[in-house]
């Protein structure tokens, strides 16, 4: 029996399941929502998470960083929602990298005791730090990125 190129393509696509799909859609929707709030109702709240070193030597203001990260979140969320199956692992790795890249903002909020999003105590801000690895794992699992990498 001859192997068709379509058989190879299907075997190489990212794994999927209902659970992965639900988690990917939830994460994508969360990112789109968060990105929209960056641009609208939570702009000031997000400024508390921009570390000073980000704008110290950059030509961007804190507000511009918040706006740019909001646009990035919207694009990333839409990518999670609408990427073809074969592209999902790549989107998963990009999302994981994004969540790792914004971690210094969460750390700055904790270290500089900046209140935002109800994180008004050191304990709450500290506990928030542990959510970032969850988001990284969520993006890798829901897109099949980690499973495909391990294979």
Which phi and psi (to 5°) does residue 116 adopt?
Answer: -170, 145
Q: What is the pTM of this model?
A: 0.84
**Residues above pLDDT 70, as percent of the chain:** 87
pLDDT greater than 90 at residue 147: no
Mean pLDDT lowest among 32-41, 67-76, 88-97, 113-122: 113-122
For the chain, domain boundaries: 17-145
Could you tell me which of 11, 30, 9 has the C-alpha nearest to residue 142?
30
Which phi and psi (to 5°) does residue 16 adopt?
Answer: -140, 160
pLDDT greater than 80 at residue 49: yes
Long-range contacts of 12-19 (CB under 8 A, 24+ apart): 12/86, 13/85, 13/86, 14/85, 14/86, 14/88, 14/89, 14/143, 14/144, 14/145, 14/147, 14/148, 15/144, 15/147, 15/148, 16/85, 16/88, 16/144
Determine the pLDDT at residue 46: 92
Mean pLDDT lowest among 3-17, 33-47, 51-65, 82-96: 3-17
**Residue 92 CB-density burial (10 A; 0-12 exposed, 13-18 middle, 19+ buried):** buried
- Confidence band of 71 (pLDDT split at 50, 70, 90): very high
* Mean pLDDT for the stretch of residues 17-44: 96
């Amino acid at each position: 029996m001859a192997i068709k190129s379509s058989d190879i393509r299907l075997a190489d696509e990212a794994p999927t399941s209902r659970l992965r799909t639900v988690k990917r859609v939830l994460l994508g929707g969360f990112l789109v929502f968060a990105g929209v709030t960056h641009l609208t109702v939570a702009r000031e709240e997000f400024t508390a998470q921009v570390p000073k070193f980000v704008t110290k030597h950059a030509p961007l203001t804190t507000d511009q960083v918040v706006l740019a990260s909001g646009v990035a979140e919207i694009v990333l969320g839409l990518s999670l929602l609408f990427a073809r199956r074969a592209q999902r692992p790549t989107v998963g790795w990009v999302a994981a990298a994004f969540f790792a890249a914004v971690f210094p903002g969460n750390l700055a909020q904790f270290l500089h005791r900046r209140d935002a999003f109800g994180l008004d105590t050191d304990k709450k801000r500290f506990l928030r730090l542990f959510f970032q690895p969850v988001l990284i794992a969520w993006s890798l699992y829901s897109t099949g990125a980690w499973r495909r990498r391990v294979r």
